[in-house]
Amino acid sequence: MNKNLEIAIIASLEAGKEIMNVYNSAFEVELKEDNSPLTEADKKANDKINSYLIATKIPIISEESKQTDYSERKNWELCWMVDPLDGTKEFVKRNGEFTVNIALIKNGKPILGVIYVPVTKELYYANVVAKTVFKSTLKSHSVSIHEVVEKAKIISSKKELPNKIKVVGSRSHMNTKTVEFIENLKNKTKKEIEIVSKGSSLKFCLVAEGKADMYPRFAPTMEWDTAAGQAICEAAGVEVISLETNKPLLYNKENLLNPWFKVKSNK
């Protein structure tokens, strides 16, 4: 296994352990400047992940860390893109639909990705260059890479059913534009549209493993929200396309805010 992918996997599992320690206790919720929630779990997971990734000597962009100025970032060939707790709203609601997201970016494109679901102990990991993507369901956060690999199963997207399209909608961000998109899709294809609701980067995973056909996003996301999911998807034969450029989303941009995008299997 790629050494950086191995490090990212262990970091995600250790972060998951920190997150669940907070999840299973009473915790306070702060509000950041943009009114998004922040908990002790976000901070502890961020510290844990950074403690592993820093050894790679590859710079880190994380939601919960101070961002390096673009004048320096633009010269990075490689960087880590981290969301230590994606789906903090779901964490606060205690519905289990939150993840740890870690991706390695090379020249603006995700080349490795890890998504860990601490509540279910499901781990997705991908090498985009090798086009390999796996899912391991673990018994503990404290497992070896050997056990991760031993339990790994290859995942891939599926062909769309002839009479139905499963569209992923956000658990917390379904808006008017998304509803309009779904109605237009229904009228255009004349197919039954089934909405599959999910929080955090699990929406990418649903399409990557063939449990949904499409995920349109007409609401704000940051690069750390999508990088790992894009890696998982691209390795599984799924496109993550900017609706501005009609090309794959790019990373380590001057503005770390993503454009609207669509996730769809290219099979």
Which positions of the chain have pLDDT values less than 70? 170-174, 267
On whether both 179 and 216 belong to a single domain, the answer is yes
Domain membership of residue 159 (yes or no) is no
Domain-terminating residue out of 107, 130, 154: 154
CA distance 198 to 168: 7
On whether both 216 and 251 belong to a single domain, the answer is yes
pLDDT (tens digit per residue) in 208-267: 999 999 999 999 999 999 999 999 999 999 999 999 999 999 999 999 999 999 999 876
Do 85 and 41 touch, CB atoms closer than 8 A? yes
What CATH code is carried by the domain that includes residue 35?
3.30.540.10
Domain-terminating residue out of 154, 181, 198: 154
On whether both 138 and 182 belong to a single domain, the answer is no
On whether both 13 and 44 belong to a single domain, the answer is yes
pLDDT at 1: 85
HSE (CB half, 13 Å, CA atoms) of 139? 4
pLDDT at 244: 96
CA distances from 154 to 58, 171, 194, 249 (A): 28, 27, 25, 24
Domain-terminating residue out of 107, 122, 154: 154
Domain membership of residue 209 (yes or no) is yes
Closest CA to 85 of 49, 126, 45, 138: 45
CA distance 37 to 193: 32
On whether both 42 and 109 belong to a single domain, the answer is yes
- The pTM for the full model equals 0.95
Note down the domain range covering 192.
164-265
